[in-house]
Chain A
Amino acid sequence: MVLSSKPDRRKFTLGATASAAIVGLAPALLAQEAAEGWEQAVKRVLGDAKPIEGKPLIDLPEIAENGNTVPFTVSVDSPMSETDNVRTIYIIATANPQPGVATFHFSPLSGKATVASRMRLAKTQDVLVIAELGDGRFLMSKRNVKVTIGGCGG
């Protein structure tokens, strides 16, 4: 038993070295968003935190005729005070070739945690919105958008 445990331990050590090397590479790999799936994008935002579901309000059309320009408004009901505020809002399009759409940073001057813009949607998909609060908690909600003509071209 003692003898046979030796190769196992060696294997484990090698395995650990190998994974350490991968961990060392991870930041560069994650920065390359083209290779990143939406699950990874979500994980990079949340880490191990469990988001409170359903909070950010997402205003998106149910059906987007043109995926090249889909208007959206995202807001979190927050007093935006010193102690109770939204720090960041992340938008992730789950079926886009590059799921990260935008990251919005708010400040004590914001007054209101609302932002609007226009996004590209390659096809029918869920859009995820994650809000990071000043106290470190996360809120998350999603909306499905049916896309008639996909954006992103190619």
Chain B
Amino acid sequence: MAKARIKLPESTKIGDVIEIKTLISHVMETGQRKDADGKPIPRSIINSFQATFAGEQVFAAELHPGISANPYLSFFMKVPGPGELEFTWIDDAGVRVVEKMKLNVV
């Protein structure tokens, strides 16, 4: 899996409700398609995502083959204070991508 991209507001205040946007490259192969020889192409998708703030879950998602390739997710968080966000993507092969990002609270 390639590197993920995360977008946070440049600076926030305690109590702000901020939008968090994430994108990761992944083929999200549905398992429904066949190759040129007519053989089924095995399913390979990112099946779960989690975002935590200072160890507490903010948002989580179970993804199915109906989610497009290179899954994009946007969700919100009410800023409780300064801290670090951690994002985890897991695919069918068990590969985990973990990204950490500090939230700039003024």
The answer to whether the Cβ of A114 comes within 8 Å of any Cβ in the partner chain is yes
Chain B 39-64 near chain A by CB (<8 Å), digits 1 or 0: 00000000000000100111111111
Q: B72 touches which one: A33, A98, A117, A151 (CB < 8 A)?
A: A117
CB distance from B72 to the nearest CB of A (A): 6
Binary per-residue interface labels of chain B (9-53) against chain A in the complex, 1 for a CB within 8 Å, 0 otherwise: 000000001100000000000111110000000000000000001
Which A residue's beta carbon lies closest to that of B56? A109
B73 touches A117 (CB 8 A): yes
Q: Contact at A110–B75, with CB atoms within 8 Å?
A: yes
On whether the beta carbons of B76 and A152 are closer than 8 Å, the reply is no
Q: Is the CB of B61 within 8 A of A105?
A: yes
The answer to whether A100 touches B75 (Cβ under 8 A) is no
Q: B61 and A104: CB pair below 8 A?
A: yes
Q: Does A96 contact B (CB under 8 A)?
A: yes
Inter-chain CA distance A100–B66, complex, in Å, is 7
Question: With contacts defined as CB atoms under 8 Å apart, how many contacts are there between chain A and chain B in the complex?
Answer: 111
Query: Is B82 interfacial (CB-CB < 8 Å)?
Result: no
CA distance A93 to B53 in the complex (A): 31
Assess whether A101 is in contact with B59, with CB atoms less than 8 Å apart. Answer: no
B98 within 8 A of A: no
Give Cα distance in the complex from A142 to B98, angstroms: 34
Interface membership of A134, Cβ < 8 A? no
Nearest-Cβ distance from residue B83 to partner chain A, whole angstroms? 10
Most buried by A among B30, B59, B72, B73: B30
> Is A119 in contact with B67, judged by CB distance below 8 angstroms?
yes
Interface pairs (14), CB distance under 8 Å: A96-B66, A98-B65, A100-B66, A102-B64, A102-B67, A105-B59, A111-B78, A112-B17, A112-B78, A119-B66, A151-B68, A152-B30, A152-B66, A154-B30
Closest 6 CB pairs of A and B: A111-B78, A101-B66, A111-B17, A112-B76, A116-B74, A118-B68
Could you tell me which B residues sit within 8 Å of A by CB distance?
17-18, 30-34, 53, 56-69, 71-78, 80
Q: A101-B64, A115-B59 are in contact. List 11 more A-B contacts (CB 8 A).
A: A103-B62, A105-B59, A109-B57, A110-B58, A110-B75, A112-B17, A115-B75, A118-B68, A120-B68, A151-B68, A153-B33
